[in-house]
Amino acid sequence: MARQLKKSGARKNKRNAVNGITHIKSTFNNTIVTITNLKGETLSWSSSGASGFKGAKKGTPFAAQTAAEKAAKQAIDQGMRQTEVLVNGPGAGRETAIRALQAAGLEITLIKDITPVPHNGCRPPKKRRV
């Protein structure tokens, strides 16, 4: 009879973090949601692209909502209850992602916009004429 081999490789150890920080990076093309503990170690993350959306659909509010729900579910499974939300970028999925976190069962204690504002730095891209 064959012996059982021990599986080698990285194992994800379960971290119990009740409080954490949710980083929402919302660009025009994608939304990335990362949930960390207070030290900054990543507990879970998701993005519109990782949630199954492709192309222009990644920039929609619904895609951001799906990504936030997915990341929140993973964080809640690891014991998270409260989170601060740091929002970065000008994308369409900012508010929708915050609402999805709340609906998933995370208590939001702080919402902060950390989008960098230039002191007249680089010239922005030209506006689209549709």
Domains of the chain: 19-113 (3.30.420.80)
For residue 45, give every residue at least 6 positions away whose Cβ sits within 8 Å of its Cβ, in sequence order, or none.
Answer: 32, 33, 34, 35, 71
pTM of the predicted model as reported, rounded to 2 decimal places: 0.85
pLDDT at 8: 63
For residue 59, give every residue at least 6 positions away whose Cβ sits within 8 Å of its Cβ, in sequence order, or none.
Answer: 27, 28, 29, 30, 31, 48, 91, 92, 93
pLDDT at 82: 97
* Spans of the chain, pLDDT less than 70: 1-2, 5-15
pLDDT at 15: 66
pLDDT at 16: 80
The angle at the Cα of 24, spanning 55 to 38, to the nearest 5 degrees, equals 145
pLDDT at 14: 64
pLDDT at 11: 57
pLDDT at 5: 66
